[in-house]
Amino acid sequence: MKVTMIGTGYVGLVTGTCFSDIGNDVTCLDIDEGKIQRLRDGEIPIWEPGLTDMVVKNHAAGRLNFSTSYADCIPGADAVFIAVGTPQGDDGAANLNGLWAVCDSLAPHLTEDTLVVVKSTVPVGTNRRVQQRLEELTGRTVNVASNPEFLKEGAAIKDFTHPDRVVVGIENKAAAETLRALHAPFLDEDHPFLVMGLESAEMTKYVSNCMLSTKISFINEMADLCELVDADISEVRQGIGHDQRIGFQFLAPGVGYGGSCFPKDVRALVAIAEANRMQPHLLRSVDKVNDNQKDVLFQKISNYFNGDLAGKTIAVWGLAFKPKTDDIREAPALVLINALLDAGANVQASDPVALENVRAIYGDKVAFCECPYEAVDGADALAIVTEWDDFKTAEFDRLRILMANPAIFDGRNIFSGDQVKSEGFDYAGIGVATITRQLSEQPAAV
């Protein structure tokens, strides 16, 4: 099939590349001429495992091309996907300015048989409005489908090529078959192609992300409670996770979720509910718990030093909001760094791929270290914020020699307290007993 992908961000580039990899003729369209040229040169604007090699391979084979011209890319396409950003507005709702700009640019070149597919995450009712707008601009019937994405950063190619399901909201059955055929190589009887109404597909995206966000906020709140009653969230998680009705996924306690999807989509669904005169009490609580959780690690560090962080050096391992990505949007590490700097601490930070993104924010206010052991040199404490695999195999002997004070604040529970204690470190995790020399003298210190 001939496919045009409008938008070369995370979703558009991954989707277009994966479609090209199974033999489709794909053109990725973007108005940013510099970005398009870099893509032609094999420079990928995002860090996603395996994506660069796949882009280069398919571009060289002529199956994947890049353009800034609607006139060249839209006519004759079997399907045109819209994958532009819908950032959170000041009121919490999605900002659709980019989507409407695409509709206006797309309409003059849209041929009669082309299917328009919206992959962008949009409020309920938006796809129907897209259809109305395109029909007003073209003067004829236009088939529009909602095809929400469910890609995890760091595992996007696997998620696309081995999806749990493909969700399509559409009213024209023949057009639905176009999308079924396009996705067929990735599906089997255990991973279905689900056809539903436009509004149901739009809601599916929001409800999915909000459910996962709820699980994260729930386990984090339970972790905080465990600390207060001398329970261990790691043990509690084992006790509940083996219940098949609950499971283990998204029930790992930590310092809160971030990224481009969960925070934005929770707040967007809150805005949708409020616009329909409903009070979304649970969703507001999910968002509030997550905001509070991002402060937990700083409070533990501050209490450890009796509220006096001035002049202390804190090493921060992990800046991206999760492993296997350089995305720092709403990253808990940024909340921690801001609080540490405000308290007068010195920050030495390390991350395998996100250093430059964070350097662009802080400049020389933070010392950025390519090597994590460089970051802990002379540090009074180490804060672990992102659970990169490299950090899980830390050499404690080396840390003890380099650090001015052996204290680890483990925001992702990548170590066990007993393990760290046996290595001679003070230790504070999330939802587990804090083990410090100070604690034995002052039980309320951490």
CB–CB of 314/279 below 8 Å? no
Claim to verify: residue 21 and residue 113 sit in the same structural domain: yes
Q: Does residue 167 sit within a domain?
A: yes
Res 260: pLDDT: 87
Claim to verify: residue 107 and residue 143 sit in the same structural domain: yes
Q: Does residue 98 sit within a domain?
A: yes
Claim to verify: residue 41 and residue 9 sit in the same structural domain: yes
Q: Does residue 412 sit within a domain?
A: yes
- Listed residues 276, 292, 308: the one ending a domain: 292
Beta-bridge mates of residue 316: 349, 383
Q: Which residues contact 88 (CB under 8 A, 6 or more apart)?
A: 94, 95, 263, 264, 267, 268
Q: Which of the four pLDDT bands, split at 50, 70 and 90, describes residue 444? A: very low
Res 51: pLDDT: 96
Q: Does residue 200 sit within a domain?
A: no
Claim to verify: residue 131 and residue 217 sit in the same structural domain: no
Q: Does residue 201 sit within a domain?
A: no
Claim to verify: residue 252 and residue 274 sit in the same structural domain: yes
- Each residue's pLDDT tens digit, 92-115: 888 999 999 999 999 999 998 999
DSSP-derived letter for residue 61 is: T
Domain of 145 in residue numbering reads as 2-195
SS3 call for 360: helix
Q: Which of the four pLDDT bands, split at 50, 70 and 90, describes residue 128? A: very high
| Total residue count of the chain as it appears in this document | 446
The predicted model gives 37-54 an average pLDDT of: 94
Q: Is the pLDDT of residue 440 over 70?
A: no
- Each residue's pLDDT tens digit, 152-169: 999 999 999 999 999 999
Claim to verify: residue 278 and residue 305 sit in the same structural domain: no
CB–CB of 288/218 below 8 Å? no
Q: How do 381-384 and 346-350 pair as beta strands?
A: unpaired
Claim to verify: residue 301 and residue 210 sit in the same structural domain: no
CB–CB of 420/408 below 8 Å? yes
| Strand spans (E) along 218-262 | none
Q: Which residues contact 136 (CB under 8 A, 6 or more apart)?
A: none
Q: Is the pLDDT of residue 446 over 60?
A: no
Q: Is the pLDDT of residue 68 over 60?
A: yes
Percent of the chain whose predicted confidence (pLDDT) is above 70: 98
The predicted model gives 394-407 an average pLDDT of: 96
- Each residue's pLDDT tens digit, 253-277: 999 999 989 999 999 999 999 999 9
Number of compact structural domains in the chain: 3
Give the residue numbers marked as catalytic: 261
- Each residue's pLDDT tens digit, 345-376: 999 999 999 999 999 999 999 999 999 999 99
Claim to verify: residue 276 and residue 350 sit in the same structural domain: no
Q: Does residue 433 sit within a domain?
A: yes
Q: How do 367-368 and 346-350 pair as beta strands?
A: parallel
The predicted model gives 370-399 an average pLDDT of: 97
Q: Which of the four pLDDT bands, split at 50, 70 and 90, describes residue 74? A: very high
Claim to verify: residue 298 and residue 364 sit in the same structural domain: yes
CA atoms of 119 and 148, how far apart (whole Å): 5
Rounded to the nearest integer, the mean pLDDT of the chain is: 94
Res 88: pLDDT: 84
CATH code (residue 431): 3.40.50.720
Claim to verify: residue 338 and residue 366 sit in the same structural domain: yes
Claim to verify: residue 418 and residue 312 sit in the same structural domain: yes
Q: Does residue 115 sit within a domain?
A: yes
- Each residue's pLDDT tens digit, 191-244: 999 999 999 999 999 999 999 999 999 999 999 999 999 999 999 999 999 999
Q: Which of the four pLDDT bands, split at 50, 70 and 90, describes residue 401? A: very high
The predicted model gives 305-321 an average pLDDT of: 97
Q: How far is CA 28 from CA 6, 13, 333, 412, 444, in A?
A: 6, 7, 33, 37, 57
- Listed residues 195, 228, 257: the one ending a domain: 195
Res 439: pLDDT: 41
Alpha helices of 23-86 — where are they, by DSSP H? Answer: 33-40, 51-60, 70-73
- Listed residues 127, 161, 195: the one ending a domain: 195
Claim to verify: residue 303 and residue 322 sit in the same structural domain: yes
Q: Which of the four pLDDT bands, split at 50, 70 and 90, describes residue 437? A: low
Q: Which of the four pLDDT bands, split at 50, 70 and 90, describes residue 443? A: very low
Q: How far is CA 337 from the centre of its chain?
A: 19
Res 99: pLDDT: 96
Q: Does residue 336 sit within a domain?
A: yes
CATH code (residue 231): 1.10.1040.10
- Element counts in the chain: helices (H) and strands (E): 20, 14
Distance from the first to the final alpha carbon of the chain: 60
Q: Which of the four pLDDT bands, split at 50, 70 and 90, describes residue 441? A: very low
**pTM for this one?**
0.90
